[in-house]
Amino acid sequence: MDRRDLDWYIDKAVQILVFVGGVSAILLIIGIFVFITKEGAGFLTTTFDAKEFFTSPRWRPTSEHNPTYGALALIVGTASITGLAILIAVPFSLGAAIYIGEFATGKTREILKVLVELLAAIPSVVWGFIGLSIMNSLIIKLFDVPVGLNVLNAGVILGLMAAPIMTTIAEDALKAVPDGYREAAEALGATRWQVIFKVVLPAAKNGLVAAVLLGVGRGFGETMAVLMASGHSINLPTSVFDSVRALTATIAAELGETAVGSDHYRALFTLGIFLFLITFLINLTADLVLRGIRKK
Partner 1 sequence: MNRNWVLIVILALVACAPRSQEAGKRSRTLIQNKGSDTLVNVAQAWAERYKEVDPNVAVAVTGGGSGTGISAMINGTVDIANASRKMKDKEIELARSHGIDPVKWTVGYDALAVFVHPDNPVEGFALEQLAGIYGEGGEIDSWDQLGLEIPGCESREIVRVSRQNNSGTYVYFKETVLGKKQDYKLGSLDMHGSKDVVDLVQNTPCAIGYSSLAYATHEVKMPCIETAEDECITPSVQSAVDRSYPIARPLFMYTAGQPEGAIKTYLDWILSDEGQCIIQSKGYAPVLPVDCG
DSSP single-letter state for residue 259: P
Single-letter residue type at 54:
F
Within its chain, how far is the Cα of 265 from the centroid? 25
Q: From CA 8, how far away is CA 108, in angstroms rounded?
A: 49
Among 74, 75, 130, 149, binds partner 1 (CB under 8 A): 149
Q: Which amino acid is at 264?
A: H
CA atoms within 13 A on the CB side of 260: 3
Q: How many other C-beta atoms lie within 10 A of the C-beta of residue 206?
A: 16
For position 215 contacting partner 1 by CB under 8 A, the verdict is no
Binding status of residue 259 toward partner 1 by CB under 8 A: yes
The only residue of 40, 42, 148, 155 in contact with partner 1, by rule CB under 8 A: 148
Which residues have a Cβ under 8 Å from the Cβ of 41 and sit 6 or more positions away? Answer: 266
Which range of residues in 42-50, 117-125, 171-179, 248-256 is near partner 1 by CB under 8 A? Answer: 248-256
The CA R_g of the chain, rounded to the nearest whole Å, is 24
- Interacting residue with partner 1 among 232, 251, 269, 271 (CB under 8 A): 232
The reply to whether 279 sits near partner 1 by the rule CB under 8 A is no
Residue 85 touching partner 1 (CB under 8 A)? no
56 binds partner 1 (CB under 8 A): no
The distance of closest approach from Cβ of residue 138 to partner 1 in the complex, given in angstroms and rounded to an integer, is 10
Residues in contact with partner 1 by CB under 8 A are 57-66, 73, 132-133, 136-137, 140, 144-149, 227-228, 231-235, 243, 245, 253-254, 256-260
